[in-house]
Structure 1
């Protein structure tokens, strides 16, 4: 990839992150929200992740933010503090270039170094590309919840995967 830089996100990246997020809301089933968010929303999200010590990584190509990845609490109870659920999104102009894999590999490394025990993936069951990527990265299929969400007028299934990082 031409001049790919993986780095921690800064507040200056939030408008690009916002655009990628809102595209996923409006055009895909990767995010099961239906309402576009504003910059204040992404600012609050950014600050909440920073306050918890969770990484937000961006993929930058030739000065342009091409994708981002992060993780947060899987469940908000003390007993789950070493398990996280992650998200990875690539800007539509950069699909199919391996950015998702690069971001995920970097995020897995950060999680391992951060003492995370398990990473959880919740993937729309029809997103075979994401399921295949997670499988290649060592995630195992846990199961599928059927018709637990609805978007674009149709019921959606949610495939659950997990990656154990350490003892």
Structure 2
């Protein structure tokens, strides 16, 4: 399957597929913070300000996406980016997240970034492990700041240098 997959720049025509993937996690997990699906009109907000917005696709269409955004929109923080990625559930645990992360890491390097951040729900243990395996370390935890599905959660901030 890996040979059939490729990463490319996200386009407006990817809206439905990207929102379908995002909304799956919004409805079913703590991976996306909304408590339910967002309308297609949210697509521009999802990628707003992105330095890099990419999709990974196979012959059947988009199966995942990733975003690299500035941490803050001020020049003092131009060397720090935040990463986000979501993979269609039937494609998880096949290395696609690693491929998307690799592309975003390269894009961060090409944009002169020195640090990457990720904020993750404490209930998303898989994502915390994924980031730790990619060289991220826990930088801090905001205790009890979120609630979804009637359950409180922390936001775990992780960071790693862009090397």
**TM-score, normalized by the shorter chain, greater than 0.5:** yes
Report the Cα distance in structure 1 between the residues aligned to 2:144 and 2:59, rounded to whole angstroms: 41
Residue of 29, 40, 53 corresponding to 1:56: 53
Report the Cα distance in structure 1 between the residues aligned to 2:9 and 2:144, rounded to whole angstroms: 35
* Runs of 4+ with >6 A deviation: none
- Aligned residue pair count: 162
Residue of 61, 65, 68 corresponding to 1:68: 65
Q: TM-score, normalised by structure 1?
A: 0.88
Report the Cα distance in structure 1 between the residues aligned to 2:13 and 2:40, rounded to whole angstroms: 11
1:128 Cα deviation (Å)?
A: 2.2
Report the Cα distance in structure 1 between the residues aligned to 2:125 and 2:146, rounded to whole angstroms: 17
SS at match of 2:152: strand
Report the Cα distance in structure 2 between the residues aligned to 1:73 and 1:110, rounded to whole angstroms: 12
The unaligned stretches of length 5 or more in structure 1 are: none
The unaligned stretches of length 5 or more in structure 2 are: none
* Aligned-CA RMSD value: 1.7
1:54-100 C-alpha deviation (Å, 9 max, x unpaired): 11111112232110000223234332222121111011111111111
Report the Cα distance in structure 1 between the residues aligned to 2:68 and 2:96, rounded to whole angstroms: 17
Q: Name the counterpart of 1:122.
A: 119
Q: TM-score, normalised by structure 2?
A: 0.90
